[in-house]
Chain A
Amino acid sequence: MPVVPLKFRPHQDGLLLFADDAGGYFKSDHAFLRRYACDQLTSGDLAFLHVNGHAYNAVGDLAYSGFEHRFAERLYLPREMDYVILVPTLRCNLACGYCQVSRVNEATPGFDWDDSIVEAVLGFLDSLSARKIKVEFQGGEPLLRLDVIERIRDFCSQRFDACELVICTNLQEVSDPAWDLLGRDDVFVSTSLDGNRMTHQKQRTILPGKTDQFFSNLDFAVSRLGSEKISALPTIDPRNAPSPEEVIETFLNYDIRSIYLRPVNYQGFARKKFDARGSADLWNRYHASFIDALVEHNWSSAVPVEEYYFVHCLRRVLRSGHNGHVDLRNPNIVGHGYVVIDYDGKIYPTDEARMVTRIGQFDMSMGDVFRGISAETIDRLNAEALNNFHPDCVHCPYQAFCGVDLVDDISRYGRIDMPKHMTDFCQRHTSIFDRIFAMIYSDDPKVKKTLALWAGTSHFDPLLAKVHQ
């Protein structure tokens, strides 16, 4: 009976974690590894491997086809473009120390869309074949260009069957007309909430008056729009982080139950202030303590809370076809499913690519709204954006769950051929997947409860944590 290739890694309890290219996994011991490596598998081994989807009787039989299907579903295939990120202005009324976008002061001229760009953006949107569209406004502070948002919204609601708008705003100064816009059914709010008041002030608002202004706006937003229409991201500097418990409490105060922890992103201005390399370890420790705190919280609270990205990774372990999040994909083909249109009308495959270009590292633009998309450079990068055959990844049991981020590699190291295990991306994700498997194979009832909540089930079934010995 043929057995598909298995990759393995020591698990924390002395056993080994095995996984295949389609994301099937189990735990076993070194004796099994020896039998597998020396072609001495017993009939008991083979029966287990067959049931668990790692072995088949003949090419094309159901076990084989099922494996193929799960393998194929784990590959991200870009569909038609149905998501655009628009940057109508770089001007902002805050000057956050870590600002990952290049921003300019509120009064600075020359960093806004003019009429000709707005017209060209509308033309670009009109050329899309999708029937539904998601438009995200970033900046700068996009509410400084309410006029542009309204124009785009009017256009999209006529041009597409369905249109969803996300406004990424600092909620610092919100005019009455802006509140009216944010209150519409098709409009969602994404804002920053840096863990607790003190950190938020230190990292973002600086002055107590401005801090009050933000929190009072956030209060008003939650009461007027409902917490389900608001997402809030905490940007965390692991060197100076608020305690996980404080962060959880702050978010629960606003009834926000999904927290997407973001490490300070060492791009744009942040590059000048923070050490760009070697921070993964610090971050991983903070993130792990955050997961501990969530497990503890969920055990005793009737209101469960999740860390958004960790849950996304968990679901990628459990399921194939879970490719909906742009930050973790394989192959990570960029510039097709969505694009970013900058304040000057230039088009970028991702927001990070916009930064890399802006600080002069590497030109990752792909045309502009006047001449259209030219994806040649980006597609050359896309040809490498695959972890299946990467010499480091082929031996990693997490390969099927993981992805690649070449833009991040370029941004940090100026090249895409760093040994993967030395990259920040790999170190952060290895740590997350180690933790996920520690939880999957944990006997702790607290861990099991949180795991079930995050897997979307009532109980976490033991058949999802098989051990073969």
Chain B
Amino acid sequence: MWVKPWNMKEGFLIGGGLLFTGVLLQVVLGPIDWDLLAWPVNLVLLVLLLVAVGTLYALRRKAYAVGWMMHAGAAVPCLVYAASLTILMGLLPQVCVGGIPWLSQMLRFWPFVLIWTWMMLISALTALNHLLRWKVREIPFLLNHLGVVVAIVAATLGNADIQRLQLTAFTGEPEWRAADETGMVHEPGLAIELHKFTLEEYDDGTPRRFASDITVYTEDGQNVRGTVEVNKPLKVNGWKIYQYGYDVRYGAESPYSVFQLVRDPWIAWVYLGIFMMIAGALCLMLFMAPKPVKS
């Protein structure tokens, strides 16, 4: 062990070290509070991450470990830890409070987050390496590794910036106040007027379609008329408006309709990562394994 060239054993030890560090952090700091990452903290973290990746990459010839991180031998142990913790998360009930200490709030568990961060670091270094040593036939490899980093980093850092509000609009009365999860009232900068709520049912009484015919008035003077239904949100001024609920006591005669308003400033980056991954998977499918593997 620790004899060059390093392979998987060293990776398992480093991962073990991360788990141990994570447990210490969990004991000292308690579970991770993701809300602390809200703008501009997430921007600072992003810059730190980019600087870290750049610095590590510059040191790749001096520091043996950095060169090793860009090999599959480093990826395997990291993925094994990530998969194991994710399986554990799937086996144990995940609840907001209570449950099994630490493990029932896996997303706030330091070892879980450290392992995923390690995975992103490895993947980012590998992607950077392939980006700088550009070769056309390595494009699929680059798309897969860069795509996963862009999607997961943007999703994780951007999570605290997502605004999710509920707005209840009664027929014919423009409503501009919306409540967040804690019940606090916000003004999202637009008003929704409900013209008509529609509920259609199948013969057996199960719902077929919920839809709300609305006009959205924005602060900058736009009037947007449209229909919002499940799977068909309306996009106005950076907000996505979703059909969320209605007064179930009245059914089709519901006097109001409930909308969910979602704003996610980082979404474009998440989509970029997702599309890179789709393109990468497409290449994987079309070109398969190029060379036979020794048995």
Specify whether A and B are partners.
no
Which A positions have Cβ atoms within 8 angstroms of B? Answer: none
